[in-house]
Amino acid sequence: MKVDLTVNGSQHTVDVADNALLSDVLRETLGLTGTHVGCDTSQCGACTVHLDGRSVKACTVLAGQADGGDVTTIEGIANGDDLHPMQVAFRANHALQCGFCTPGMIMSAIDLVQTADSPLSAEEVREGLEGNFCRCTGYHNIVKAVLDAQANM
């Protein structure tokens, strides 16, 4: 099937199998390997991207479901060399180690902050990141980073 997607501002028409996942299209067809796949049960969140402005787990969205959609991946959130405040905060707070969960974590965290009605507490950040696993950091510095970025978004 043919699927039209806008990915990080660029328009693509891709010819994919009916059962192709959005994560497959991003990684295999478009070469955007920053979106990682860490599980097969929609639990780890490493594949999180934004679809029409909201975070989704790209391993759980069929490419066909995203037809006509606007997708943003980790590769698309910086403005040239000007990093997104969440990217800056993750580095400044040592909120990543192996880096594998990081793209999904950053994409979830951006959505979490953007959709909050009022500034998030540390506890709310912890609850809000329940869909993303990190095995390296113990989340301690991720929480700090999200609170830090929140002040600059």
Partner 1 sequence: MNAETGIGASVLRKEDARFITGKGQYTDDISVFGQTHCVFVRSPHARAKINSINTDAAMAVDGVIRVFTGGELVEDGIGDLPCGWVVTSKDGTPMVAPPHPPIATSVVNYVGEPYAFVVAETLQAARDGAEAVEADFEILEAVVDTATASSSTQIHENAPSNQAYDWELGDKEATDAAFAAADHVTTLDITNNRLIPNAIEPRAALGSYDAASSTYTLYTTSQNPHVERVVLALFVNVAPEANLRVISPDVGGGFGSKIFVYAEETAVIWASAKVGRPIKWRADRTESFLADAHGRDHVTKAELALSSEGEMLGLRVKTIANMGAYLSTFSSSVPTYLYGTLMAGQYKTPAIYVETQAVFTNTAPVDAYRGAGRPEATYVVERIVETAARELNMDPVELRRKNFIPPDAFPYQTPVALEYDTGNYAASMGKALEIADHDSYAARKAASEGNGKLRGRGYSCYIEACGIAPSQLVISLGAGVGLFESAEVRVDVSGSVTVMTGSHSHGQGHETTFAQLVSDRLGIPFDSVNVIHGDTGRSDYGLGTYGSRSIAVGGSAIDRALDKIIAKGKKIAAHMFETTDDQVEFAEGQFSYAGSNEPKPFAEIAGAAYIPAVYPLDELEPGLSEKAFYDPQNFTYPAGSYVCEVEIDPSTGVTEIQKFVAVDDFGNVINPMIVEGQVHGGLAQGIGQALLEHGIYDADGNLSTGSYMDYAMPRAADLPDFEVDMTSTPCTHNPLGVKGCGEAGAIGSPAAVMNAITDALGVKDVPMPATPHTVWETIQQGA
Q: Residue numbers of the site for partner 1 (CB under 8 A)?
A: 17, 19, 27-28, 32-41, 43-44, 46, 73-75, 78, 83, 87, 90-92, 94, 96-103, 106, 122-123, 125-127, 129-130, 132-143
Considering the complex, what minimum distance in angstroms separates the CB of residue 97 from partner 1?
A: 4
Q: How many CB atoms lie within 10 A of CB 32?
A: 21
Token representation of residue 95: 């909120």
CB closer to partner 1, 44 vs 62: 44
DSSP 3-state assignment of 66? helix
Considering the complex, what minimum distance in angstroms separates the CB of residue 66 from partner 1?
A: 18
Token representation of residue 89: 């905060």
Buried b / exposed e over 36-57, threshold 16 CB at 10 Å, is bbbeeeeebbbbbbbbeeebbb
CB closer to partner 1, 36 vs 61: 36
CB closer to partner 1, 68 vs 99: 99
Rg (CA), the chain: 15
CB closer to partner 1, 42 vs 68: 42
Name the residue among 99, 56, 101 with its Cα closest to residue 26: 56
DSSP letter assigned to residue 119: P
Considering the complex, what minimum distance in angstroms separates the CB of residue 129 from partner 1?
A: 5
Partners of 49 in the beta sheet? 56
Considering the complex, what minimum distance in angstroms separates the CB of residue 71 from partner 1?
A: 13
Considering the complex, what minimum distance in angstroms separates the CB of residue 20 from partner 1?
A: 9
CB closer to partner 1, 66 vs 125: 125
